[in-house]
Amino acid sequence: MDFEMKTQKFRCPYCRAEITVLLDPSVPKQRYYEDCEVCCNAVEISYEFSDGKLIDFHASAEE
Ligand SMILES: [Zn+2]
């Protein structure tokens, strides 16, 4: 199966800047850290795909 990368927008939990990330639907469930391109804080990204559809997405401050 061929999945297209999906772009997802969210607001940085630290500085509220709008950030766009690329999500890979071939990985059904992922959790990783993405540095905010504005304030450089690590934002915890977690998401879940089902049949190539994004069903869950969270961006939260590192604990
Ligand atoms: Zn930020």
β-pair type (18-23, 6-11): antiparallel
Task: Report pLDDT digits (tens) over 6-61.
Answer: 999 999 999 999 999 999 999 999 999 999 999 999 999 999 999 989 999 999 99
Compute the distance from residue 18 Cα to the ligand 1 centre, in Å. Answer: 8
Q: What's residue 30's pLDDT?
A: 96
Q: How far is the CA of 3 from the centre of ligand 1 (A)?
A: 29
Q: Under 8 Å CB-to-CB from 23, ≥6 apart: which residues?
A: 5, 6, 7, 8, 30, 47, 49, 54, 57
Give the model's confidence band at 3: pLDDT under 50 very low, under 70 low, under 90 confident, else very high: confident
Q: Are 44 and 60 spatial neighbours (Cβ–Cβ below 8 Å)? A: yes
**42 Cα: distance to centroid of ligand 1 (angstroms):** 8
Q: What is the pTM of this model?
A: 0.85
pLDDT of residue 43: 97
Q: Is the pLDDT of residue 1 over 80?
A: no
Going through the chain in order, the beta strands assigned E by DSSP cover 6-11, 18-23, 29-35, 42-50, 53-61
